[in-house]
Amino acid sequence: MLQRDFVQGRVASVPAPMALDALNYRWELAAAADFGSDVDVLNYALTLEYLEATFYELGNAKNLLSGQEQTYLTQVQKDEEAHVAAITATVKKLGGTPVSKPMVNFGNAFASRDSYLTTSFTFENVGVGAYLGAAGFIKNKDVLQAAAGIFGVEARHAAIVGSLLGKPAEGGVYMGAFETPKTKAEVLKAVTPFLASQMGAMPSGGVNTGGGSTAGVEDKGLLAVGGAALLGAAGTAAYVASRRSASEADES
Amino acid sequence: MSSGKIFDGMPVLAFQRETDRRNFLRWAGRVGVGAGFVLGGALVTTPLATAATDPTQGSSGGDGDLSILNYALTLEYLEAEFYKQGLAANLLSGRELDLVTPIEDHEQQHVKAITATVTKLGGTPVAKPMIKFPDGTFGSRDKFLQTASTFEELGVVAYHGQVPNIKSGDVLGAAASIAGVESRHAAILASLTGGKPFPSPIEDHKPMSFVLDQVKPFISS
């Protein structure tokens, strides 16, 4: 999928793997290897929340909306920022290291009110599926309560943005009688375009082992941390390999 | 709503089986605020006391997920019936009708899914209670949608209140997948009624006792 497809909202009619597959509901746990700990799940969520918060900060600054739409999207931005703050604090409380804010590129998402809301619609529905797909890995009950609480609010966002867009009630505003979980791989397919566009431009050096400490990594390299946290166990090896070869090429 | 309660604090349901009613009262009496519930529905004193001393109805026993599912099922029955009657009253049109119509279907599917889950887990699904909404609930578009909005918010906090209590991962997944849909309903109904679709960055959660204080049984049950 091309990034512009996602950004310009053609996604709803596009690739089967990332379509919001709501009508084929099934409860599935993501692969067991996806998350090793609550901190892993939270850092995965944090990267998504950073993407969302930044998306609305940039989008709302464009003054594409007015009236009730503007009011609603302003609140959505505040919600996502609150999620970032809450998850960051929780990771720290659990003794983990929160991933840093990834660098993002939303392409032409802010070209118009329609493109902005259409991209938002996709983002929110991906977020809903992401939380539901990851919930089964959370062991700490307090963390689970909070994650479920965030999940519900993402569902609210998704419904309202769908409504603003005049989407069909079923299959637009609502995605069936049951929310559909998305695996990490599915979520990655949806959001990697925003991160991957940065990877090629990353400075050499810095992170090369995945989502661990961010100490000493300069800002431009922080994407690697966010990206690697998302990629997690399944994707990190390939990602690191490609980075390593890129880095070696730079150095040679 | 002046009372701050859905249905203005009026009783709305009656159970067909004594075991269902006793279970309901047991849920309502949990978390130490049972006294408030008893005051609100004085009928319950005896059954509540009985339940509290009935070893087969232990509140912390292995029936936890089944109890939670039957609690959810009771609420879903109420919701499904609420929308069935509300839509039958022909109060809505256009986009509003489009947005509310699928909700009835969702609630009915929730009833079916939870019933199937209880059965699969070896439990007995609560029988559909007899339900009577207060006069005027479907008297106008505003009353119907305002009540629906309150009802959906109640459903959201009810599900989220049980998140930490559910033991089975599968049950949690199923409950969460329903809760997210209730959140969508709540947001849409808030927007249709001039309320706040995003009242909080993280969904609130409430114990069974809080929730069931709002959906009281009839004394006649």
**SS3 letters for chain A?**
CCHHHHHCCHHHHCCHHHCCCHHHCCCCCCCHHHCCCHHHHHHHHHHHHHHHHHHHHHHHHCCCCCHHHHHHHHHHHHHHHHHHHHHHHHHHHCCCCCCCCCCCCCCCCCCCHHHHHHHHHHHHHHHHHHHHHHHCCCCCHHHHHHHHHHHHHHHHHHHHHHHHCCCCCECCCECCCCCCCCCHHHHHHHHHHHHHHHHCCCCCCCCCCCCCCCCCCCHHHHHHHHHHHHHHHHHHHHHHHHHHHHHHHHHC
Which residues on B lie below 8 Å from A82 (Cβ)? 201-202
A53 Cβ under 8 Å from any chain B Cβ: no
pLDDT beyond 60 at B47: no
Is residue A25 within 8 Å of residue B177, measured between CB atoms? yes
A113 Cβ under 8 Å from any chain B Cβ: no
CA distance A83 to A165: 24
Angle in degrees, CA A180, A104, A203, rounded to 5: 125
CA distance A248 to A205: 10
DSSP B88-123: HTT---HHHHHHHHHHHHHHHHHHHHHHHHHHHTT-
pLDDT beyond 90 at B61: no
Q: Which amino acid is at A49?
A: E
DSSP-derived secondary structure letter, B4: S
Tell me, what's the pLDDT at A203? 37
- Show which of residues 205-234 on chain A sit within 8 Å of chain B, judged by CB atoms: none
Q: What is the pLDDT along chain A (252 residues), one digit of tens a residue?
A: 333 333 333 333 323 222 222 222 333 334 445 788 999 999 999 999 999 999 999 999 999 999 999 999 999 999 999 999 999 999 999 999 999 998 888 999 999 999 999 999 999 999 999 999 998 889 999 999 999 999 999 999 999 999 999 999 999 999 999 999 999 989 988 988 877 544 443 333 333 333 333 333 332 222 233 333 443 333 333 333 333 333 334 433
pLDDT digits (tens, 9 = 90+) for B188-203: 999 999 999 999 999 9
pLDDT beyond 70 at B103: yes
Structure-derived torsion over alpha carbons of residues B51, B56, B57, B60, reported in degrees to the nearest 10 = 130
Tell me, what's the pLDDT at A201? 39
pLDDT beyond 60 at B180: yes
pLDDT beyond 90 at B108: yes
Q: Using CA coordinates, name the residue in chain A closest to B95.
A: A169
CA distance A56 to A62: 10
Which tokens hold the place of A128? 């809903």
DSSP-derived secondary structure letter, B78: H
Residues 6+ apart with CB under 8 A from A50: A84, A99, A101, A102, A226
Q: DSSP 3-state assignment of B14? A: strand
Residues 6+ apart with CB under 8 A from A134: A30, A34, A35, A41, A44, A45, A147, A184
CA distance B147 to B154: 10
- Of A39, A43, A23, A40, give the one whose Cα is nearest residue A31: A40
What is the number of other CB atoms lying within 10 angstroms of the CB of residue A162?
25
Please report where in the chains the tokens 């049972």 appear, as a residue. B34
Confidence of residue B12 (pLDDT cuts 50, 70, 90): confident
Mean pLDDT of chain B: 82
User: Between chains, do B179 and A132 touch, taking CB under 8 Å as contact?
Assistant: no
Tell me, what's the pLDDT at A196? 52
Which residues on A lie below 8 Å from B114 (Cβ)? none
pLDDT beyond 50 at B178: yes
- Show which of residues 63-102 on chain B sit within 8 Å of chain A, judged by CB atoms: 98-99, 101-102
pLDDT beyond 50 at B69: yes
CA distance A152 to A190: 20
Of A78, A141, A157, the CB nearest to B164: A141
Report phi then psi at B170, rounded to 5: -65, -40
Longest dimension (CA), chain B: 54
- Ranking A134-148, B14-28, B92-106 by mean pLDDT, the lowest is B14-28
Tell me, what's the pLDDT at B6? 78
Please report where in the chains the tokens 């597959």 appear, as a residue. A21
Tell me, what's the pLDDT at B4? 62
Q: Which amino acid is at B215?
A: V
Stated pTM of the model: 0.77
- Ranking A110-124, B132-146, B203-217 by mean pLDDT, the lowest is B203-217
CA distance B221 to B211: 19
Which tokens hold the place of A149? 């609480």
Q: How many CB pairs (< 8 A) connect A and B?
A: 143
- ipTM score above 0.85: no
- Of B48, B16, B17, B22, give the one whose Cα is nearest residue B33: B48
Is residue A51 within 8 Å of residue A104, measured between CB atoms? yes
Tell me, what's the pLDDT at A17? 28
Of A75, A78, A178, the CB nearest to B177: A178
B112 Cβ under 8 Å from any chain A Cβ: no
CA distance B26 to B34: 9
Mean pLDDT over residues B175-184, rounded? 97
How many residues comprise chain A? 252
* Residues facing A170 on adjacent strands: A174
pLDDT beyond 50 at B54: no
